[in-house]
């Protein structure tokens, strides 16, 4: 689902990025001096993005599988409620 969301948003984000980059003024001499700090900032941003996406796909070891399934089963049993009536009651009555 996350992959589909990324694919759906890739084109609009690329368009917005191109517009943003084209609207920026040309680099000044002082901007060239700060380009090394800019590349460090980009490296840090890339690292944070990698850590974030890695945490989204965090895979637990096989030894934790049983405990995870028991926790999920307990959550489903405790938190889900089912309404078996054909027509729901009007809450205002």
Residue 66: inside a domain: yes
Distance (Å, rounded) from C-alpha 57 to C-alpha 17?
A: 26
Residue 5: inside a domain: no
Residue 73 CA, chain-centre distance (Å), reads 26
Distance (Å, rounded) from C-alpha 38 to C-alpha 45?
A: 10
pLDDT tens-digit profile of 4-25?
Answer: 776 777 787 788 777 877 777 6
Residue 34: inside a domain: no
Task: Decide if 51 contacts 58 (C-beta within 8 A).
Answer: no
Residue 90: inside a domain: no
| Per-residue pLDDT, 38 | 67
| Per-residue pLDDT, 64 | 81
Residue 71: inside a domain: yes
Q: Which domain holds residue 64?
A: 58-83
Residue 38: inside a domain: no
Distance (Å, rounded) from C-alpha 62 to C-alpha 68?
A: 10
| Per-residue pLDDT, 45 | 85
Distance (Å, rounded) from C-alpha 52 to C-alpha 6?
A: 14
Give the global pTM: 0.28
pLDDT tens-digit profile of 30-88?
Answer: 555 556 666 777 888 888 888 888 777 777 677 888 888 888 888 877 766 555 555 66
Q: What is the DSSP string of 52-73?
A: HHHHHT----GGGHHHHHHHHH
Residue 79: inside a domain: yes
Residue 12: inside a domain: no
The tally of domains found in the chain comes to 1
């Amino acid at each position: 689902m996350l992959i589909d969301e990324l694919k759906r948003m890739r084109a609009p984000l690329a368009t917005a990025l191109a517009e943003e980059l084209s609207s920026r003024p040309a680099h000044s001499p002082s901007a060239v001096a700060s380009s090394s700090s800019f590349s460090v900032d980009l490296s840090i941003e890339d690292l944070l993005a990698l850590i974030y996406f890695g945490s989204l796909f965090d895979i637990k070891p096989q030894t934790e599988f049983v405990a995870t399934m028991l926790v999920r089963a307990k959550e489903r049993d405790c938190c889900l409620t089912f309404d078996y009536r054909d027509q729901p009651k009007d809450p205002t009555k």
